[in-house]
Amino acid sequence: MAKKRRIGILTGGGDAPGINAVIRAVAKKAILDHDMEVIGIEDGYDGLVRNKWRRLDYNDVSGILTQGGTILGTSNAANPYQYPVKTGKRLELRDVSAVAIGNAKKLRLDALVSIGGDGTMHISNSLFRDGVPVVGIPKTIDNDLLGTDITFGFDSAVYVATEGIDRVHTTAQSHHRVMIVEVMGRNAGWIALHSGVAGGGDIILIPEIPYDPEIVAAKVRDRNRRGKRFSIVVVAEGARPKGGDVVIRRIVKESTDPVRLGGIGFVVGAQIEEMTGIETRTVVMGHLQRGGSPTPFDRVLATRLGTKAVDLILNRRFGCMVAVKGNTLTSVPLREVAKGTRRVQLNDPLIAAARSVGTCFGD
């Protein structure tokens, strides 16, 4: 009698709407179509290091399509190759990958499905190089993964950010203010660009286009002269002025991505108020963009990605990540995904469209 195949699933990095929909898709297809055993690794790669896991049956993943977060938990501070270990008051980063790989072998996993962003995919590539049969699924609200046109979680984050922009319009108009809306995205401007266009932002500042405070202020003054006594400014957390640096909120030494951006909205607000004399307020969307139920688009995309990952496993396409190219699902090598960050190109058609309707990018 043939051995029953067993796959593991883990979710790494920051949470994003749609993770549970992916877990559901992977597990249901594996169980219903191929009679596989499914193991849920808890708290991302931390679970692989500490051997924290549980079996996932059909009932465990039924009814989670619409839930935000992840039923398995996650961690963005558990890189097995740079694992934080405290010795007294000192924090050291140690390579405990042999422990993680050993635990994967003890679980007798025929494949490990890794759901995450660039940090998670970088770790996945290293584990594959060291003998673990890994298949990746692209997850990040930032939409900054190389090799795929879109990641699940992005549409949901844009929806939340756009709703926030819509809501500040009324107070901006009523009080004749400039309203700054700071959104996430790290070093890529995808969320700011899409939510800014969708929300009718007058000024959109993204990391890929360093801004000139004088040009931003001039746009606000020009709107005021034409009778538009308010302005909406959408700022990506990684935006920076020409010749300047990003604003860092804090450093988390034990994290795989230690730099935490945040606060640029208040900097831009102070610059605008000083240069124009117009009252300015800043709203930081923050983790609101990560929470809540995924949009219908993300539920569908997550289902497609999850079921495609099982196909890759069946075809032994390990060391690859499921990817979206146009309307088609394909796969790309993890080594290509791990090479860097996908950022907004200056010739992106959406930038051109936004400029055509009068949007200022601070340049």
Do the domain assignments include residue 358?
Answer: no
What pLDDT is attached to residue 353? Answer: 97
pLDDT at 344 over 60: yes
CATH of the domain at 145: 3.40.50.450
With contact defined as beta carbons under 8 Å apart, do 124 and 138 qualify?
no
pLDDT at 207 over 60: yes
pLDDT at 285 over 80: yes
Domain boundary among 263, 291, 319: 291
> Are 111 and 188 in the same domain?
no
Could you tell me the residue range of the domain that residue 265 belongs to? 157-291
Lowest mean pLDDT among 88-92, 139-143, 204-208, 316-320: 88-92
Catalytic residue among 15, 142, 155, 202: 142
> Are 142 and 169 in the same domain?
no
What pLDDT is attached to residue 89? Answer: 80
pLDDT in tens, 101-114: 999 999 999 999 99
The percentage of the chain sitting over the pLDDT mark of 70, rounded to a whole number, equals 98
Active site residue 311: no
> Are 181 and 142 in the same domain?
no
Burial class (CB in 10 A: 0-12, 13-18, 19+), 327: exposed
Cut 0.85: pTM above it:
yes
> Are 83 and 186 in the same domain?
no
The rounded distance, in Å, linking the Cα atoms of 154 and 170 is 26
Locate 251 and state its tokens: 């450093």
CATH of the domain at 165: 3.40.50.460
What pLDDT is attached to residue 338? Answer: 92
Do the domain assignments include residue 196?
Answer: yes
Report phi then psi at 54, rounded to 5.
-155, 155
> Are 171 and 103 in the same domain?
no
Q: What is the CA radius of gyration of the chain?
A: 22
pLDDT at 191 over 70: yes
pLDDT at 354 over 60: yes
pLDDT at 1 over 60: no
> Are 143 and 18 in the same domain?
yes
What pLDDT is attached to residue 255? Answer: 64
Do the domain assignments include residue 349?
Answer: no
**Which residue is listed with tokens 């690794």?**
41
Do the domain assignments include residue 357?
Answer: no
Domain boundary among 267, 291, 315: 291
pLDDT grade, residue 251 (50/70/90)? confident
> Are 200 and 184 in the same domain?
yes
Do the domain assignments include residue 147?
Answer: yes
Q: What would the mean pLDDT of 309-338 be, rounded to a whole number?
A: 96
> Are 229 and 140 in the same domain?
no
> Are 59 and 97 in the same domain?
yes
Half-sphere exposure of 173 (CA within 13 A, CB side): 6
pLDDT in tens, 66-82: 999 999 999 887 899 99
Do the domain assignments include residue 272?
Answer: yes
What pLDDT is attached to residue 249? Answer: 75
Q: What would the mean pLDDT of 130-153 be, rounded to a whole number?
A: 96
